[in-house]
C-alpha cells in the first residue's frame, strides 16, 4: 500500500494551524479555571491550604509542647503566654490545636482513602457488570446504609478496640456506601456512551474498558465525594474520640479535647470553644471546596 | 467474487419491561425481524430507512456488539453467530465500526494518539510499528502529526469523525460498518468525509456497510442499497436500479422526498400519511399497509415475501410488484 498523503482539502483544519504552538488544554485545566472563579470555593481552598501548612510546620508554629503538663498552670485564661489558655492539666491549648491538625489530616486522608478504595471497587463492579453482581453488592451496601452511621462506627470500634487507628477504620467503613452508590450511578451512565461501545468494538477486554475508559470518566464525582467526605470523616472521628473510642490521651485530638474540657464548661469555656471552632472551620473548608469542585467539574454547567 | 459477509434471517428482539404486577403477558420489540443479505468484498452496501427501522441495530448485531436473537451471520464463510469471548475478540480486528456521533464516540480523557493507538495496543502491535502506523493514519485521514497530543474537545465535528475513522482503520479491518457517519456533520463537512471514505475504500480495499437516512449520500457512495421498514427488508438491489425504478411504494415515497438540483424537473411528491407504527406493535400483514396508497385487503391479511422484480437481481416485498424470473 502506498503512503499517499491525503489530497482532500480540509478547510476545517485551518483554524488549528495557527494554534500550533499552543499546549493542549485538558479538561482539568478548564475545571481549575472555573473553580478559582468562585469565591466560596476559594475560601474553602484557603482554609484547606492553611490546615496543610499548619500540619507541616506544627513544631515551628506551636509555642509549647502539646503534651507537656503543668498542674500549677491549669485553666489559665488566654494570655500572651498561653494564647488560647490552658486545660485541666495545664497544657497549652493553642499548641494542642496546632498539633491536632496533623491528626485531623491523617484521619481525613486515611479514612476517606479506605472508603474510596473499597467504595470505588464495589460501585464500579456493580455498575459495570450489572445483573447479579450489582444485586449482591448493592444489597450489601444497603445493609451498611441501614445502620445509623455513628452507631455503626461505635459498634465497629467496640469490636476492634478503642484506638485512633481503629476509629479511622470504622469511619472509613461507614463512608463506603456513599462512594459505592455515587460511583455505581456514574459508571451506569458512562457505560452507555458510544466510546465504551467503541472500546468493545476494538476488542478491549472488560478490565481494560473499566480501568481505561469507564473510571477515568467517573473521576469527577469521585473527587467531589472524596473532598466532601474528608469534612464528615474528621467530624465523625472527632465524635468517636469525644466518646473516648478514638484517640487516646494524651494525643492532642480535637474531639478528645472537647471531651476533656466538657467538665469545666462553665468555669473555663475556652477549653472546649477553640477545638470546637477548629473542627468547625476545617469541616466548612472541605465542604465549601467540595461544593465548588462539584460545580466546576459538572460539564452541564459549562457553556 | 465470493461474499465477505452473509446474513441469514437475523432477528433482534428486545424484551419490554412489563409494568403490570403479576401480568404474564410478555411484549417484545422486534427491532430487526428476519433480514437476509450478503455483502461482496470491496463493495458498499447502503442501508436506508427511517429512524427506528432497525438499521443501526442490524449493524450492531452483525458486529456482535448485540447478540442476535435468531439467524446466522457468516463472515468469510465461517459462522460467527455464536462465537464469544477470546475468539470474538480476535475477530474484531477484521470488522470495525464508525459511529454516528463524533462527540460521543471518542473518550474525552484520551488524547488522539492514545485513542488511535489503543486498538493496536490491544492486539500487541510492536511499539515502533504502532507509531509508524499512527503517523500514516493521521496523514491519510487528513490530520496533522502535531494534532496527536490534543484532546477530542479541541477538535471540530468533522475532525473528530476523521479521528474515529483513523481508529477504525488502525487494525486493517476488511469490513467497516458506518453507522450514519455523516448525519451529525454540517453539509459542507459531509462531502469531505464522504470523499475521504471513498478514497480510503480504494486505498485499503475496504468493504462498507453504510447506514444512513440521507438518500443522496447513499446514492453517491453505495453499489447496492437495502431499504428497511420496521425491521424488515422492503427492497434491495443495485443502487441505479433502485433509484431509477423503485418497485416498492415505500422506496418510491422515500425517493420522491429527495430534493433535486434541476428547477425545471417537476416531480410528484408522495407524502406518507401518518406516523411510523410502533415496532413493539407492528401492523398485521404487510407492515407498510397503514401508510401505503396502494394498500388493499390482501395487504392487511397477508405478508408479502421478498421476490425478484427485475432481471438484475432487484428484489422487493410488495404484493403489487411484478415478479420477474431470471
From chain B, the residues in CB contact with A24 under 8 A are 111, 149-151, 154
Residue B27 per-residue DSSP state: E
Q: Phi then psi for A4, rounded to 5 degrees? A: -75, 130
Pairing of strands B207-212, B175-179: parallel
Longest CA span, chain A: 92
B154–A205 CB contact, under 8 Å: no
In terms of CA atoms, which chain A residue is nearest residue B152? A26
A14 touches chain B (CB under 8 A): no
Kindly state the average pLDDT of the residues B301-312. 87
With 80 as the cut, is the pLDDT of residue B244 above it?
yes
Q: What pLDDT is recorded for position A16?
A: 42
From chain A, the residues in CB contact with B96 under 8 A are 201-202
| CB A236, CB A178: distance < 8 Å | no
**Whole-structure pTM value:** 0.80
List Cα–Cα distances, B49 to A53, A65, B250, in angstroms.
Answer: 65, 80, 10
* pLDDT tens sequence across B24-82: 667 788 889 889 999 999 999 999 988 888 888 999 999 999 988 899 999 998 899 88
User: Of B92, B151, B156, which is closest to A26 when you measure between CB atoms?
Assistant: B151
| CB B288, CB B249: distance < 8 Å | yes
A24 touches chain B (CB under 8 A): yes
What mean pLDDT is reported for chain B? Answer: 88
From chain B, the residues in CB contact with A219 under 8 A are 109
User: Of B153, B156, B171, which is closest to A12 when you measure between CB atoms?
Assistant: B156
A27–B93 CB contact, under 8 Å: no
Percent of chain B at pLDDT > 90 equals 38
B107–A10 CB contact, under 8 Å: no
ipTM of the complex: 0.84
Q: What pLDDT is recorded for position A23?
A: 53
With 60 as the cut, is the pLDDT of residue B156 above it?
yes
Q: Which of A12-21, A93-102, B120-129, B157-166 has the lowest mean pLDDT?
A: A12-21
From chain A, the residues in CB contact with B155 under 8 A are 16
List Cα–Cα distances, B98 to A143, A213, B159, B179, B184, in angstroms.
Answer: 44, 18, 13, 6, 12
In terms of CA atoms, which chain B residue is nearest residue A192? B104
With 80 as the cut, is the pLDDT of residue A127 above it?
yes
From chain A, the residues in CB contact with B118 under 8 A are 199, 202, 204, 212
Residues of A (166-205) whose Cβ lies below 8 Å from B: 193-195, 197-205
| CB A134, CB A126: distance < 8 Å | yes
Amino acid at each position: 500500500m502506498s503512503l499517499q498523503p491525503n489530497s482532500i482539502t480540509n478547510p476545517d483544519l485551518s483554524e488549528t494551524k495557527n494554534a500550533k504552538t499552543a499546549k493542549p488544554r485538558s479538561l482539568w485545566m478548564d475545571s481549575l479555571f472555573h473553580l478559582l472563579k468562585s469565591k466560596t470555593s476559594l475560601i474553602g481552598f484557603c482554609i484547606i491550604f492553611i490546615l496543610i501548612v499548619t500540619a507541616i510546620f506544627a513544631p515551628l508554629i506551636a509555642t509549647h509542647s502539646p503534651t507537656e503538663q503543668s498542674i500549677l498552670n491549669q485553666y489559665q485564661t488566654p494570655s500572651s503566654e498561653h494564647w488560647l489558655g490552658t486545660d485541666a492539666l495545664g497544657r497549652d491549648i493553642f499548641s494542642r490545636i496546632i498539633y491536632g491538625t496533623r491528626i485531623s489530616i491523617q484521619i481525613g486522608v486515611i479514612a476517606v482513602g479506605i472508603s474510596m478504595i473499597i467504595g470505588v471497587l464495589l460501585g464500579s463492579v456493580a455498575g459495570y457488570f450489572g445483573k447479579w453482581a450489582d444485586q449482591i453488592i448493592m444489597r450489601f451496601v444497603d445493609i451498611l446504609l441501614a445502620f445509623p452511621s455513628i452507631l455503626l462506627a461505635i459498634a465497629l470500634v467496640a469490636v476492634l478496640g478503642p484506638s485512633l487507628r481503629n476509629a479511622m477504620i470504622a469511619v472509613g467503613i461507614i463512608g463506603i456506601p456513599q462512594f459505592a452508590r455515587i460511583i455505581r450511578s456514574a459508571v451506569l451512565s458512562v457505560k452507555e456512551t458510544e466510546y465504551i461501545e467503541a472500546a468493545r468494538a476494538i476488542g478491549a477486554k472488560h478490565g481494560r474498558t473499566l480501568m481505561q475508559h469507564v473510571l477515568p470518566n467517573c473521576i469527577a464525582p469521585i473527587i467531589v465525594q472524596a473532598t466532601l467526605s474528608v469534612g464528615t470523616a474528621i467530624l465523625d472521628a472527632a465524635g468517636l474520640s469525644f466518646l473516648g473510642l478514638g484517640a487516646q490521651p494524651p494525643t492532642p485530638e480535637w474531639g478528645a479535647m472537647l471531651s476533656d474540657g466538657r467538665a469545666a464548661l462553665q468555669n473555663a469555656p475556652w477549653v472546649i470553644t477553640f477545638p470546637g471552632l477548629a473542627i468547625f472551620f476545617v469541616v466548612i473548608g472541605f465542604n465549601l471546596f467540595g461544593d465548588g469542585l462539584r460545580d466546576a467539574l459538572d460539564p452541564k454547567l459549562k457553556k | 467474487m465470493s461474499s465477505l459477509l452473509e446474513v441469514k434471517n437475523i432477528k433482534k428482539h428486545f424484551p419490554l419491561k412489563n409494568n403490570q404486577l403479576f401480568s404474564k403477558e410478555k411484549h417484545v420489540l422486534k427491532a430487526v425481524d428476519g433480514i437476509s443479505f450478503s455483502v461482496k468484498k470491496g463493495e458498499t452496501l447502503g442501508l436506508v430507512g427511517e429512524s427506528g427501522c432497525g438499521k443501526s441495530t442490524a449493524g450492531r448485531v452483525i458486529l456482535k456488539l448485540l447478540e442476535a436473537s435468531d439467524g446466522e451471520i457468516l463472515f468469510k464463510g465461517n459462522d460467527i453467530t455464536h462465537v464469544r469471548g477470546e475468539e470474538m475478540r480476535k475477530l474484531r480486528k477484521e470488522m470495525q465500526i464508525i459511529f454516528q456521533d463524533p462527540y460521543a464516540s471518542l473518550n474525552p480523557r484520551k488524547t488522539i494518539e492514545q485513542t488511535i493507538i489503543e486498538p493496536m495496543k490491544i492486539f500487541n502491535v510492536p511499539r515502533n510499528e504502532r507509531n509508524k502506523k499512527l503517523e500514516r493514519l493521521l496523514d491519510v485521514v487528513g490530520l496533522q502529526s502535531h494534532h496527536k497530543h490534543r484532546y477530542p474537545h479541541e477538535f471540530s465535528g468533522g475532525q473528530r469523525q476523521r479521528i474515529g475513522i483513523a481508529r477504525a482503520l488502525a487494525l486493517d479491518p476488511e469490513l467497516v460498518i458506518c453507522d450514519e457517519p455523516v448525519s451529525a456533520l454540517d453539509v459542507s463537512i459531509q462531502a469531505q468525509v464522504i470523499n475521504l471514505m471513498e478514497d480510503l475504500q480504494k486505498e485499503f480495499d475496504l468493504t462498507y456497510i453504510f447506514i444512513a437516512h440521507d438518500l443522496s449520500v447513499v446514492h453517491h457512495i453505495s453499489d447496492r442499497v437495502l431499504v428497511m421498514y420496521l425491521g424488515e427488508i422492503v427492497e434491495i438491489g443495485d443502487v441505479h436500479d433502485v433509484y431509477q425504478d423503485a418497485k416498492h411504494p415505500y422506496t418510491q415515497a422515500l425517493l420522491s422526498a429527495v430534493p433535486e438540483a434541476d428547477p425545471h424537473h417537476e416531480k410528484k411528491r408522495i407524502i406518507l400519511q401518518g406516523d411510523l407504527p410502533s415496532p413493539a406493535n407492528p401492523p398485521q400483514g404487510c407492515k407498510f399497509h397503514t401508510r401505503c396508497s396502494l394498500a388493499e385487503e390482501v395487504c392487511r391479511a397477508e405478508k408479502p415475501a421478498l421476490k425478484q422484480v427485475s432481471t438484475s437481481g432487484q428484489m422487493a416485498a410488495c404484493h403489487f410488484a411484478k415478479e420477474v424470473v431470471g
